[in-house]
Amino acid sequence: MIVGTLPIPAGRAMAATIGDRLGELRLRRGLTQEGLAEKAQLSIDTVRKLEQNQRLTARMGTLNSLARALDVETSVLLGAPAVLASSNGSEPPSLLALRQAVTPLSDFPGLGSEEDTPPPTVAQLRVSIRSTEQIRRRGELTKITALLPVLLADARAAVRQYTGDDRAAAYAVLAEAYQVAATTLTAFGKEDAAYTAIERSMTAARQSDDPRLEIIGVSSLSWIFSKQGRLSDAEQVAVRMAERIEPGFRSAPIDLSVWGILLLRGATAAVRAGRNDSAEELLSLAAAAAARVGSDRLDYATPFGPTNAGVAAVNALVDMGKPDKALSHARRIPDLSTLPPTWLARHHVDRAMAHAELRHDDRATRTLLVAEQIAPEWMRYHSSSRHLVAELRERELRRSSPIRELAIRLELED
């Protein structure tokens, strides 16, 4: 796992833009712009424009290549959102509490213990995990960081004290709670803690009463690997699990759904690694699975069906640098209303990125405003959205405009 071998000196914050961070990391690696471009297999013009802040964002494939060349995680280049930063340089209390919930002191014999208070019933645990997943789908990440420590403690208490079927059911809730913790920590750029959470999720899933939880855990693992820049691993784990569970002619819709989710994860990793042929093959398989499912589903807090398969194709086309095709494909997606808020907001951000690449700045701004209306808190923490807003703001000549007002709401400027 890439751990980021360039620690930031104590008391010093990383520079404000991707280009600033890129230049700082490059110099600390002793590389010229030409040397970095060659190592990342990118054009010198790309590196130069980023470092000179002529471009304030880039496709994920480009950022992943730069991160690999610099031996850091991609999140180091993107930077933590300012709204999450702690004034004294330490981790914000909400994230620290979530870290402690994922790796409590009770894990270390003789150093701590969890109270053996009566745990909630299995029914109550299931209500709690469903409620938590609904909040996550709305993108209300700060609420999630407050709720998860309690849910994880309750589920751990249940697996300690229950036996038989109730214990297996409690393990299923614990596995899902760890998965939510993993994706939340990854969204905040805490991939190390996320990796621990997903490992614990997989262990709990194997002791649960739901064999599909391990499959969904692999999907989350693939996403975490993608965020770390481990694109080959991200594609490999998703594809291998998809091959292992490949559904047959009589398979239930839920099995087609979880298979399709894995295919989309693998496709995302492949396109960001520049393996477009592999990505297109996986997207084609996913589209076929979605057609067999017939309608949009929501399994394990993840959508799959014709709509999400179409949205994933738009995302891939944006990452491939094909904005015209991305926008054309977006117009053919059947029913966006079936998507959860964060998925829908992300789709609008993809459309905005395509418009921005075509220099349709007004359309890009209008599309970003739609995304903000759908998932306002998610927008504050989503790195790609923030960087796109920053780039459009820099291209805006007017002192007062919708994009500058959006930048203020995202705390990108005073």
Give a yes or no: residue 103 inside a domain: yes
Structural domain ending residue among the three candidates 79, 102, 136:
79
Residue ranges of alpha helices (H) inside 188-331 are 191-206, 212-228, 231-244, 253-272, 276-293, 306-319, 323-330
Q: How far is CA 334 from CA 101, 310, 343, 344, in A?
A: 41, 8, 15, 13
Which residues, including other chains, have CB under 8 Å from residue 59's CB and lie 6 or more apart? 272, 318, 319, 321
Residue 91: its pLDDT value, please?
67
Q: Is the pLDDT of residue 366 over 90?
A: yes
Across 13-27, 217-231, 299-313, 359-373, least confident range: 13-27
- 195-225 per-position pLDDT tens digit: 999 999 999 999 999 999 999 999 999 999 9
Does residue 325 share a domain with residue 232?
Answer: yes
Rg (CA), the chain: 21
Phi, psi of 304 (to 5 degrees): -155, 140
Q: How far is CA 67 from CA 64, 356, 374, in A?
A: 5, 23, 31
Does residue 236 share a domain with residue 121?
Answer: no
Confidence band (pLDDT; 50, 70, 90) for 12? very low
Phi, psi of 302 (to 5 degrees): -125, 125
Q: How far is CA 34 from CA 29, 44, 342, in A?
A: 13, 6, 38
Does residue 289 share a domain with residue 251?
Answer: yes
Structural domain boundaries enclosing 226: 222-339
Residue 414: its pLDDT value, please?
52
Q: Is the pLDDT of residue 47 over 80?
A: yes
Mean pLDDT, rounded, of the chain = 87
Give a yes or no: residue 216 inside a domain: no
Closest CA to 248 of 289, 279, 211: 289
Of the CA atoms within 13 Å of residue 405, those in its CB half-sphere come to: 8
Residue ranges of alpha helices (H) inside 29-121 are 33-40, 44-51, 60-70, 74-78, 93-102
Which residues, including other chains, have CB under 8 Å from residue 79's CB and lie 6 or more apart? 14, 16, 18, 21, 189, 383
Cα–Cα dist 212/111, whole Å: 35
Confidence band (pLDDT; 50, 70, 90) for 330? very high
Q: Is the pLDDT of residue 59 over 70?
A: no
Q: Is the pLDDT of residue 10 over 50?
A: no
Residue 367: its pLDDT value, please?
98
Does residue 202 share a domain with residue 91?
Answer: yes
In percent, the amount of the chain with pLDDT more than 70 equals 88
CB under 8 A, 24+ apart: contacts of 64-68: 64/229, 64/231, 64/272, 64/273, 65/40, 65/41, 65/274, 66/22, 66/36, 66/40, 66/42, 67/2, 67/229, 68/2, 68/40, 68/229
Residue 105: its pLDDT value, please?
80
CATH of the domain at 303: 1.25.40
Across 90-99, 330-339, 346-355, least confident range: 90-99
Residue 393 or 53, more confident:
393
Structural domain ending residue among the three candidates 339, 357, 392:
339
Q: Residue 394 corresponds to which tokens in the numbers above?
A: 């820099």
Give a yes or no: residue 50 inside a domain: yes
Residue 345: its pLDDT value, please?
97
Residue 196: its pLDDT value, please?
94
Structural domain ending residue among the three candidates 155, 178, 210:
210
Q: Is the pLDDT of residue 179 over 90?
A: yes
Q: Is the pLDDT of residue 118 over 70?
A: yes
Cα–Cα dist 374/348, whole Å: 10
Give a yes or no: residue 215 inside a domain: no
Does residue 399 share a domain with residue 354?
Answer: yes
Report which listed range, 69-83, 88-102, 150-164, is most confident: 150-164
Residue 55: its pLDDT value, please?
75
Work out the number of other CB atoms within 10 angstroms of the CB of residue 48: 15
State the total domains in the chain. Answer: 4
Give a yes or no: residue 217 inside a domain: no
Q: Is the pLDDT of residue 53 over 90?
A: no
Does residue 261 share a domain with residue 190?
Answer: no
Confidence band (pLDDT; 50, 70, 90) for 86? very low
- 231-262 per-position pLDDT tens digit: 999 999 999 999 999 998 789 999 999 999 99
Residue 369: its pLDDT value, please?
97
Task: Transcribe 349-392 into DSSP letters.
Answer: HHHHHHHHHTT-HHHHHHHHHHHHHH-HHHHHH-HHHHHHHHHH
CATH of the domain at 60: 1.10.260.40
- 258-284 per-position pLDDT tens digit: 999 999 999 999 999 999 999 999 999
